[in-house]
Amino acid sequence: MIIAIDGPAGAGKSTISRLIADHHGWTYLDTGAMYRAVTLLAREQGIAPGDSEGLTQLARNVEIGFQPGPGGVPRVFAGCREVTEEIRSLEVTRDVSEVSAHAGVREAMVERQRQCGSAGDVVVDGRDIGTVVFPQAEVKIFLTASVGERARRRRLELEGKGVEVAQEQMEKDIAARDDYDSTREVAPLRPADDALLLDTTQLTIEQVVDKVAEIVAARV
């Protein structure tokens, strides 16, 4: 079985996907981390976010891998180098939407994502999983939440790492990323026609996990 969980930034995709995968003993694939790894390396190599050719070449050649980490959070590797924390920086976050919008970058990543999920029993999160990567997924869920709540979650996450960001600024960043992701020409952010929409604004993590588990159980 393939479970596709899509949604905008801060909706809780990664946390929920990881917990659902752990519950079933399945594989969890964080596709956003793959685009973030490409973005991080592009910044380090001086490849501009608008350089489609350079980014496509990088995406085709980079080796991205995952290993089990503490608390079920996957460790992310670019080649032999662990980049788990680096790919979550503010700088990477602000560039990743533009980097991931290039057709060549998405083609390279989608091919790898399909290879990773080809064996089945996988929970995959992202922005185009149910529409592009795995349109045949047995379960498709689109998580969302208000801009204010998603900004609050991201702000608390950053504060936990010692990074202070104003709520107002975070809301502006989230809204801008929503607009960019949903209007890009290639694989725009949108729910699949047969996806179930789940608003997590007023829900705890446990409540969301329970609801997703119910959906999966019904499909099984």
For residue range 27-72, what is the model confidence (pLDDT) as tens digits?
A: 999 999 999 999 999 999 999 999 999 999 999 999 999 998 887 7
Helix axis angle for 13-24 and 205-219, nearest 10°, is: 50
Percent of the chain at pLDDT above 70?
A: 100
What is the predicted pLDDT for the residue at 219? 81
pLDDT at 152 over 90: yes
- Residue 174: pLDDT band with limits 50, 70, 90: very high
pLDDT at 91 over 90: yes
pLDDT at 81 over 90: yes
Q: What is 2-214's CATH number?
A: 3.40.50.300
Answer with the residue of higher pLDDT: 135 or 219: 135
* DSSP code per residue over 61-79: H--EEEE--GGGPPEEEET
What average pLDDT does this structure show over 146-152? 97
pTM for this predicted structure: 0.91
Q: How much is the mean pLDDT over the chain?
A: 94
Please state, in angstroms and rounded to a whole number, the distance separating the CA atoms of residues 93 and 87: 8
Collapsing DSSP states into helix, strand and coil, what is residue 189? coil
pLDDT at 85 over 80: yes
Instruction: Name the helix (H) or strand (E) containing 2.
Output: strand 2-6
Residue 89 backbone dihedrals phi, psi, to 5 degrees: -70, 160
Per the document, the length of the chain is 220
